[in-house]
Chain A
Amino acid sequence: MSSKKLEIVKSLVDEVFIKDNPDYMNEICTEDMESHFIIDELDIHDVEGIKTLNAILNQCFSDLKVEIEDLFAEKNKVLLVLKFTGKHDKECFLGMEPKGKNIEFLTYDIFYFKGNLIYYNRGITDVIHKLDMLE
């Protein structure tokens, strides 16, 4: 049922990105989950890749906030749009030195389910277009 899948994706956002609990991915994904999401040199292709992305964001930004901008489902697929905001005052991000400036960017993700587990994800972000906010 689509509503159950929506709840699972909401819990992913809450646990992984808001509570910084990346190991939660292991509970909601198949072991061989495949992901296709590219941020600059970071090619995210599995559960560990998604955990790495979360770690990088936390290492680079303080006040990191994640909001669901859109979420809907059809059959075994869920579409998620997230808005990330944060202050770049920690480590270098995509080659940019931290200057204490705020950034805001979006990600679009599709999650494909087998039963109630995510087995495939593909996504995109506009962060490259937003790097001028950090200059």
Chain B
Amino acid sequence: MSSKKEIIEIMVKEIFNNNNLDYYDILFTKDMESHMVLDELDINNVENMKSMMDVLQNCFSNLMVKSEEIISERDKAFALFKFSGIHDKDKFMGMEPKGKKIEFESYNIFYFKKNQISFHRGITNVIHQLKMIE
């Protein structure tokens, strides 16, 4: 049985960095509920999480995600992710691509049922970081 930390690390590696779609079904319950807002994109289920990753992949090259902090207790784990990438593909939040590097963080809490994530909530500071790609 994987620890909560190991599951988070697998998510970072497979979903965020390898863009391996198969892992959504492995790591999340089918009815997983999410509460995270990224501009006009209101992320409230697994499909919305996939959409968020699509947006990031479509806008940035060299997209990298690192877990900077993981704190876990019983059936939940907090994870602080740092995203970085070069904005040289599609428009992002209305910003034209200019080949500049962006870095932003997201703070997340994942709630587990057995070894799958059943609920997620999070906040990102991407709005504060948009000046990096002006």
Q: Which A residues are within 8 Å of any B CB, using their own CB?
A: 38, 70, 72-74, 77-79, 81, 106, 108, 110, 122-126, 128-129
Contact = CB atoms under 8 A, between A and B. Distances in A.
Nearest to B111: A70
B73 A72 contact: yes
Contacts, number: 45
Contacts of B72: 74
Say whether chain A's binding surface is mostly helix, strand, loop, or mixed: strand
B76 interface: yes
B123 A70 contact: no
A110 B127 contact: no
B123 A125 contact: yes
28 contacts: A38-B125, A70-B109, A72-B71, A72-B74, A72-B76, A72-B78, A73-B73, A74-B73, A77-B69, A78-B71, A79-B71, A79-B109, A81-B121, A108-B78, A108-B107, A108-B109, A110-B69, A110-B71, A110-B78, A110-B80, A124-B105, A124-B107, A124-B123, A124-B125, A126-B37, A126-B123, A128-B128, A129-B37
Contact of A77 (B71, B109, B121): B71
Interface string B59-90: 00000000001011110101010000000000
Interface residues of B, number: 18
Contacts of A73: 71, 73
Nearest to A108: B107
A77 B121 CA distance: 19
